[in-house]
Amino acid sequence: MTAGLSPDTMVWQDKKRYLWLMGLIVPTLLLAILPIVWAMNQFGWTSASQVLFWIGPILLYVLLPALDLRYGSDGQNPPEEVMEWLENDKYYRYCTYLFIPFQYLSVVVGAYLFTASDLSWLGYDGSLSWPARIGLALSVGALGGVGINTAHEMGHKKDSLERWLSKITLAQTGYGHFYIEHNRGHHVRVATPEDPASSRFGETFWEFLPRSVFGSLRSAWRLEAQRLRRQNKSVWHPSNDVLNAWLMSVVLWGVLIAVFGPALIPFVIIQAVYGFSLLESVNYLEHYGLLRQTNANGRYERCTPEHSWNSDHLVTNLFLYHLQRHSDHHANPTRRYQTLRSMDGAPNLPSGYASLIGLTYFPPLWRRLMDHRVLEHYDGDITRANLQPRLREKILVRYGAVA
């Protein structure tokens, strides 16, 4: 697409315009593999075909990192002159809207495949094996995790339709409170010790995960309770956006369990936990060790590009709607994904999010990769980092910050 703003204005081309449709690969993956599974089963490869039900983890941990390595950095920033036009081009928001019907079609198909006792039409003698079922649940969970990011894009917008679509997208993982906590909690407290979604230097992902999950839940409830009290309403009022978002999850999974039976319950739990754990692994790597300093008045300095880890790898950018341009997102939370830019002054991750999610699970590897980057970001002064409290003295001694 070419935007000619005026005869005297430069012409700019968004080279990624139609590549944004790659964001629909994740919600259609399960549907796409079924013909391949059927074909493999016709050749008698029934054991090998069941590996395809692990397509979600395979995409996240193998294919996307390989593609990021192959295609490298994005490198294209929209110029200031086209920002207003680009922001108002509705094609880009329709790309995110399309995610939702495919998301829920895949959820229903996944629920059916998980519980079906006769899959002869697909070439199996009976039901899926338990390894295949677990892979299926994780693949649907990967869809839910990426769906949280799609909800994140829509939930920041002022349009009421997009805000409701955000909550609908979050219903799959039962993470509807993210809609409240991310916008009104995380963006206010980001890169401070008070933010449950900002990881600390020396904190492992496995320590961070429960802190962020339960801390974000408590914060979302508290924020909504405060808002409703200001309006003289009960915390149990239907306008409580935490409650009505959770209600969507109850209705969704209540209906599916009623249709497919109690055998669906393990599927519900596995996909939800895996889905929101993917969000939390991204939360973990986005602000690891970064800290907004305190001003003379005791308040934290304004959030700037240096308070978010950036990555500009092309392929993961396309799958996650520029989430990796995280510094610009925190500077301009309502800016639409197509206008986000890779900003100077932001610390950069060594690779794309997809390559790093798996590393967050292994604390020694993660710390070997990232601790020296945090130290370099603060010019060797580790006291300026957001330190894990229980390790604070040990870290300070290790890096020579105390006598």
pLDDT at 13 (0 to 100):
85
What is the Cα–Cα distance from 156 to 177, expressed in whole angstroms?
Answer: 14
Please report the pLDDT score of residue 322 as a whole number: 94
pLDDT of res. 159: 87
For residues 49 and 53, give the distance between their C-alpha atoms in angstroms, rounded to a whole number: 8
Q: Is the pTM higher than 0.85?
A: yes
Say what the pLDDT of residue 128 is: 97
**Secondary structure, 3-state, the chain:** CEEECCCCCCEEECCCCCHHHHHHHHHHHHHHHHHHHHHHHHCCCHHHHHHHHHHHHHHHHHHHHHHHHHHCECCCCCCHHHHHHHHHCCHHHHHHHCHHHHHHHHHHHHHHHHHCCCCHHHCCCCCCCHHHHHHHHHHHHHHHHHHHHHHHHHHCCCCHHHHHHHHHHHHHHCCCCHHHHHHHHHHHHCCCCCCCCCCCECCCHHHHHHHHHHHHHHHHHHHHHHHHHHCCCCCCCCCCHHHHHHHHHHHHHHHHHHHHCHHHHHHHHHHHHHHHHHHHHHHHHHCCCCCCCECCCCCECCCCHHHCCECCEHHHHHHCCCCCCHHHHHHCCCCCHHHCCCCCCCCECCCCHHHHHHHHCCHHHHHHHHHHHHHHHCCCCHHHCCECHHHHHHHHHHCCCCC
Q: Tell me the one-letter amino acid at 97.
A: Y
pLDDT computed for residue 27 by the predictor: 97
Per-10-residue mean pLDDT of the chain, 403 residues long, equals 46 89 96 97 96 97 95 89 92 96 98 97 96 98 96 91 94 95 94 96 98 97 96 94 95 98 98 97 97 92 92 93 92 91 87 94 97 96 96 93 65
State the Cα–Cα distance between residues 274 and 113, nearest whole angstrom.
18
Residue 396 in tokens: 């300070």
Taking the C-alpha atoms of residue 186 and residue 303, their distance in angstroms, rounded to an integer, is 11
Residue 302 token pair: 């304004």
Q: What is the rounded CA–CA span in Å between residue 27 and residue 230?
A: 40
Task: Evaluate whether 386 touches 191 at the Cβ level (below 8 Å).
Answer: yes
Letter for the amino acid at 388? Q
For residue 8, the model assigns a pLDDT of: 40
Strands 2-4 and 11-13 turn out to be antiparallel
Residue 304 CB: number of other CB atoms within 10 A? Answer: 15
Sequence spans of domains, the chain: 16-399
CB 235 within 8 Å of CB 225: yes
On whether the CB atoms of residues 142 and 291 are closer than 8 A, the answer is no
Contact 30, 110 (CB under 8 A): yes
Query: Cβ atoms within 10 A of the Cβ of 217, count?
Result: 17
Contact indicator for 201, 388 with CB cutoff of 8 Å: yes
CA distance linking residue 99 with residue 147, whole number of Å: 8
Residue 10: what pLDDT?
56
In angstroms, what CA-CA distances link 342 with 57, 76, 345, 390?
A: 28, 8, 10, 34
At 334 the pLDDT is 87
Distance of CA 77 to the CA centre of its chain: 22
